[in-house]
Amino acid sequence: VMMDALDAGAEDFSAEDGYFEILTAPEQFSQVREALEQKGYTFESAEVEMVPQTTVKLTNEDDIKNMQKLIDLLEDNDDVQNVYHNWEMD
């Protein structure tokens, strides 16, 4: 799987618990997905996501509660399609 993904243009690859995570630049997403589908691979999930370059670890309990509340409120809002953040959750 790793070699097929990298040959298709993937930038990074990891395996965990029988699943594979393949990372690629957004503009390469369709090309990589189509190449892997042509080789017979199926996907549990395949989507373009915003992945942070750096993360922030919150240690203050009030900050953690406030951040979780904000994320929950945004996710519950029907007008919000996706919520991305760089908070490192434990």
pLDDT in tens, 15-72: 998 899 999 999 999 999 999 999 999 999 999 988 899 999 999 999 999 999 999 9
**Region for 81 from its dihedrals, namely left if φ exceeds 0, alpha if ψ lies in -120 to 50, beta otherwise:** alpha
Q: CA 13 to CA 83: how far, in whole Å? A: 24
pTM of the model: 0.67
- In degrees rounded to 5, what are phi and psi of residue 33? -60, -45
Q: Is residue 90's pLDDT more than 80? A: no
Token digits for 53? Answer: 């370059």
pLDDT in tens, 4-16: 999 999 999 999 9
Residues 6+ apart with CB under 8 A from 64: 58
pLDDT band at residue 89 using 50, 70 and 90 as cut-offs = confident
